[in-house]
Structure 1
Amino acid sequence: MNQPPITDKRIWWQCQTVFKEAFDNVIDHAHKDLPLDTPIEIEAVRTVHQIELRIWDFGPPL
């Protein structure tokens, strides 16, 4: 996600924060009672105008 590097440090930190919060949410909720080897798929797509982060967990549907 950081290639080429994001030069605006504010945006870079926002991306890091969003990723961490989303990943922690999956760990704390969707994967709470699942085996440690249950996969979590992550995809980040960066264009000139946006960054799209997708996280697929394999926990039970709500």
Structure 2
Amino acid sequence: MRDIPESGKCFSCKTEVTDECYCLGCKEFICTDKVCMKLHHALAQLLGVVWELRNSDE
């Protein structure tokens, strides 16, 4: 099991979010705002990691 913080702030806009918004690839929190999601996708590509939000485990 990966260590996942219970809550944190979106890496972009600093909105407080829960662990469901944690990216397992980037190890960053990301809110559901469209601008933040686009920035997060670019960050994941730059880091060369899989963009895998915890809430997509369904």
TM-score, with structure 2 as normaliser: 0.30
Q: Which has the larger radius of gyration?
A: 1
TM-score, with structure 1 as normaliser: 0.28
